[in-house]
Structure 1
Amino acid sequence: MSKLIVLSNRVNLPNKQSPKAVAGGLAVALQEALAKDGGIWIGWNGQVVTNISDMPDTVNRFVTEQHDKVTYVTTAFSPIQYEKYYCGYANNRLWAGMHDRTDLIVSSSEDFSVYQAVNRMFAKQLQQIAQPDDMIWIQDYHFFAVARHCRDLGMKQRIGFFLHIPFPQLWVWDFLTYGQTLIYQLLDYDVVGLQTQPDAQNCVAVIEQLLPHAIQITQTNARTLISHGDHTTLIQAYPIGINPVYIHKLASQPLSDLAVLKNLTSTITTILAVERLDYTKGIPERLQAFAAFLRRYPQYLERIQLYQIACPSRLDIQTYQQLRQQVHTLVEQINSQFATASWQPIIYQEDPVSHDNLMPLFRQCQICWVNSLKDGMNLVAKEYIAAQDEQNAGILILSKNAGAAHQLQQAILVDPTNNDSMIEGLYQALTMTKQQREQRHQSLLQGIYETDIDTWRAHFLADLTHMDKPNNPITETIK
């Protein structure tokens, strides 16, 4: 019987999470995707150990655990793999570049070779466990090369790839060392999924420009087929979703985190912002805009409060250390400038909030502000909408640069780099009538239900299954 095998860089083992641990959007989405029919989830367990081999051929390093319907197959990284693959090429180069922050790219000449070695290590593990009829679903920028290594190992299984972050325009690829090699390797996947239609268009355009004589592009509606040698790859947008029914159920439960509860006051409008402490999330820009709002609209002093939850990550990377210090300084300055004896404008928290507590927190906060400078999708925006009480729905302020903005048009869309846009967006949220809030909420909620996590999973896997068939529909040859 065919099974689904998922590979992502990080795997959150259910029994290894602390009570306050909070999974990222990708991890939550994959857990939901696997929960229905089960499968195998492969990846890094988050540990770095010195007594483990750097060699990609070491597959007996993997540990298997079973939880409900999901089999978890995980490994630790060696210090070199963590430094060169994870911190180096994947995050200091690919993450930075693919979010248009080429100014932050830092990596050594060895990073790419270790990136390839880690991709091959996971490919060899897939070879060990995959049966001929299994479908393999590779997740995100850490693994552009896995399909190439799988094919080199003789694997014929259907292999799909989903990129959770933005696919940048051509100019960025000039800064991504060995970028053309990655694009070649990408075409060994059967299906390449992107978050939005602009991402899919960027992907096709980059392939067309970097490999002009090696491919043939065929298009039908929003589907693009790229033939490379005797292999065909489908390029298409599959906007990732959430489980709105489950989110709404969680949000209906009491908020049990006492540390969070003490930060909520019934007489003050709470503006919630929750994300990883990452330079793509627009945290300094939000803080500066919030301070500017208080100066422009002083009548809101002591009436509103920004509750900023920023969970530190990747602190082994200098850019993230510097961002953390910048955010701390801004919070201190703003609170020092505006605080009174009984009120401070910003509550800043780095301790994570568990998913079970985050959903009722969403419901209790009147405004959620997502300010990403660039974001593949942003599931916080969708979760906030799903968590609301329909009779007293909160308002979503959403960066126009988040992938979610393509679907959530009834949110208050702002430019995260423009103070006036953010200030007036916040003012609009604070002055909106209950009827206006409810109308917007109903429209947003309908879209979230129509493109939920089951739809994302079903559409992608249906296309991956279809690519196993010899006759693909082709209507118009472009090149």
Structure 2
Amino acid sequence: MDETMFGQALGALRETAAGVSSAAQAGRLIVVSNRVAPIEEGQPTAGGLAAGVLDALQEMGGLWIGWSGEIAEGESRIQPERQKGRIRLQMLDLAQGDYDDYYRGFANSALWPVLHYRSALARFSRSHYAGYRRVNALFASAVAEGLAPDDIVWAHDYHLLGLAAALRAQGVTNRLGIFLHTPFPAAAVFMTIPVHEELARALCQYDLIGFQTEVDRRAFEDYVLREADGHLLPGRALMVFGRVVRTGVYPIGVQVDEIRAQAEPAAECPQMAKLRASTGDSKLIISVDRLDYSKGLNERFLAYERFLEQNEARRGAVTFLQIAPPSRTDVETYREIRLELEGEAGRINGRFAELDWTPLRYLNKGFARQALMPMYALADVGLVTPMRDGMNLVAKEYVAAQNPIDPGVLVLSQFAGAACELKAALLVNPHDPDAIAEALEQALSMPLAERRERHAEMMAVLRRNSLGTWRDRFLGDLHRRG
């Protein structure tokens, strides 16, 4: 998962942080992420990461540090703190050069593609990496200022792989943990980053490294054992670069009851009434993805075209709604993706559309969460087929939004982290358009009893691995020593 978690509205959690020990209450929680969630009343929290972290901060008190999203004139700077209840918020304004090197450069032009097994798209520059380290050091300065001995630091995602090393260089000995929302690739793929050893050494300055899946954890472990002369200790800890580093698997979840509550008012929503009126009796397939090459949108369009080719009786009786909010519009690769998808959507519609039927509706815009959840509930099929994804919360949100009496069917990529948990979905290889086409037909033809059974099985998993469970397990392990 990446910074788009902050682009979706989720709402603050209200459950108790039961998994955080009483000892943990002695120090503050310091959260560091590329972006921060709004903490003003009436503003929505943005995404699963934001909601889980915000709730922990509300319970424990603490500080949230992240980029403001603003470009500073002159040098990067740290804004004065803001206070809201028990939460302090510290934002950084980045200079244009720092933004270009750290964010557009190393983080999203080198790290992001490699972490998603797309090394051929990676563009490495020493100056970009220098900027990445520079901004990580700036974040570290914001963290270190006023840090108390019992405070713990919880960093998030690939933007901050170097934060712990920068903090250790400043003499910080506090407990430091990071959760990686993206996948962690196989050792041979990770090694395509020219500075992979330096990155791994920096990453191992954290006390706890969290991953979405066991596959990700094992990939990191394999790299450490084979390429960094590391040693496995009891309890799956690692001795590497002269330090003991613990790893864990913490699949991020969703707040099931909140999502279902947001989905239920669909009948009264004017926007939903328009959608129903426009689709008529057609079955609805829905996909919601940030515009990114890791999401497999081109391949998905091809699979839907194959589905229409192979199922003539479905033509005119099914509508595919693809919502793809724009992302990183200042990066050339993403502008190219948008043009390609617009062309493909036009080509498929030109081939199959009728006067009263548009087979593929491609919307290059975002929707508020209050609008998305009812759309999920209305859809007969949730089509989630990334080429590679750390978790993919859309898959979990789609399941949570369904009416258990008449649920839809989830078609899910086997390479999404969510596939490790949602085994009752129809799992597909996103590289195989025929397999996706077959899964779509199976989903649309599935008997009600089977749909209910699959949905109930997935809901049990979602309740067991909730957003609160993710947060509490990570913080509990971060506090635990030895």
**TM-score normalised by length of structure 1:** 0.91
Once the two structures are TM-superposed, the CA of residue 329 in structure 1 deviates from its matched residue by 0.3
Does residue 13 of the first structure (1) align with residue 38 of the second (2)?
A: yes
User: Going by fraction, where is helix more abundant, 1 or 2?
Assistant: 2
Which string of whole-angstrom CA distances, capped at 9 and with x for unpartnered residues, describes residues 232-268 of structure 1? 2101211111111221222223477755652333411
How far apart, CA to CA, are the structure 2 residues paired with 1:31 and 1:251? 23
Amino acid at match of 2:344: L
Q: 1:301 to 1:187 in 2, by over 3 A?
A: same
Question: Match of 2:254?
Answer: 242
Amino acid at match of 2:28: K
Does residue 164 of the first structure (1) align with residue 187 of the second (2)?
A: no
Question: Match of 2:20?
Answer: none
Does residue 217 of the first structure (1) align with residue 232 of the second (2)?
A: yes
How far apart, CA to CA, are the structure 2 residues paired with 1:88 and 1:425? 38
Partner of 2:89, secondary structure, is: strand
Q: 1:426 to 1:266 in 2, by over 3 A?
A: same
Does residue 414 of the first structure (1) align with residue 428 of the second (2)?
A: yes
The aligned runs of 1:81-92 (5 Å cut-off) are 81-92=98-109
Does residue 463 of the first structure (1) align with residue 477 of the second (2)?
A: yes
Number of aligned residue pairs = 455
Q: 1:256 to 1:319 in 2, by over 3 A?
A: farther
CA contact (8 A) 2:187 2:223 kept: yes
Does residue 450 of the first structure (1) align with residue 464 of the second (2)?
A: yes
Does residue 269 of the first structure (1) align with residue 283 of the second (2)?
A: yes
Q: 1:80 to 1:24 in 2, by over 3 A?
A: farther
Identity %, equivalent residues = 33
Partner of 1:311, secondary structure, is: coil
1:75 to 92, 103, 122: 92
How far apart, CA to CA, are the structure 2 residues paired with 1:27 and 1:52? 30
Q: 1:109 to 1:443 in 2, by over 3 A?
A: same
The aligned runs of 1:61-210 (5 Å cut-off) are 61-210=78-227
The aligned runs of 1:332-411 (5 Å cut-off) are 332-411=346-425
CA contact (8 A) 1:367 1:429 kept: yes
1:4 to 29, 41, 44: 29
CA contact (8 A) 1:25 1:378 kept: no
Q: 1:35 to 1:246 in 2, by over 3 A?
A: farther
Which string of whole-angstrom CA distances, capped at 9 and with x for unpartnered residues, describes residues 364-423 of structure 1? 111111010000001111111111111111111100000000000000101111011101
1:231 to 237, 243, 252: 243
Question: Match of 1:477?
Answer: none
Consecutive unaligned residues of structure 1, counting only runs of 5 or more, are 473-479
CA contact (8 A) 2:45 2:51 kept: no
Does residue 283 of the first structure (1) align with residue 314 of the second (2)?
A: no
How far apart, CA to CA, are the structure 2 residues paired with 1:253 and 1:3? 39
Q: 1:361 to 1:434 in 2, by over 3 A?
A: same
Question: Match of 1:42?
Answer: 65
How far apart, CA to CA, are the structure 1 residues paired with 2:363 and 2:446? 28
How far apart, CA to CA, are the structure 2 residues paired with 1:255 and 1:376? 33
Q: 1:7 to 1:267 in 2, by over 3 A?
A: same
CA contact (8 A) 2:323 2:366 kept: yes
Q: Which deviates more, 167-176 or 62-71?
A: 62-71
Once the two structures are TM-superposed, the CA of residue 47 in structure 1 deviates from its matched residue by 1.7
Amino acid at match of 2:263: A
How far apart, CA to CA, are the structure 2 residues paired with 1:99 and 1:128? 34
Q: 1:22 to 1:68 in 2, by over 3 A?
A: closer
Which string of whole-angstrom CA distances, capped at 9 and with x for unpartnered residues, describes residues 22-64 of structure 1? 9455444434554544432211121223x1414xxx5xx2243
CA contact (8 A) 1:255 1:361 kept: no
How far apart, CA to CA, are the structure 2 residues paired with 1:68 and 1:336? 55
CA contact (8 A) 2:272 2:374 kept: no
CA contact (8 A) 1:168 1:202 kept: yes
Q: 1:340 to 1:33 in 2, by over 3 A?
A: farther
1:293 to 307, 324, 334: 307
Question: Match of 2:16?
Answer: none
Does residue 251 of the first structure (1) align with residue 263 of the second (2)?
A: yes
Q: 1:403 to 1:32 in 2, by over 3 A?
A: farther
The aligned runs of 1:464-479 (5 Å cut-off) are 464-467=478-481, 472=482
CA contact (8 A) 1:134 1:158 kept: yes
How far apart, CA to CA, are the structure 2 residues paired with 1:309 and 1:22? 21
Q: 1:121 to 1:397 in 2, by over 3 A?
A: same
Partner of 1:353, secondary structure, is: coil
Once the two structures are TM-superposed, the CA of residue 302 in structure 1 deviates from its matched residue by 1.0
How far apart, CA to CA, are the structure 2 residues paired with 1:35 and 1:180? 37
CA contact (8 A) 1:194 1:238 kept: yes
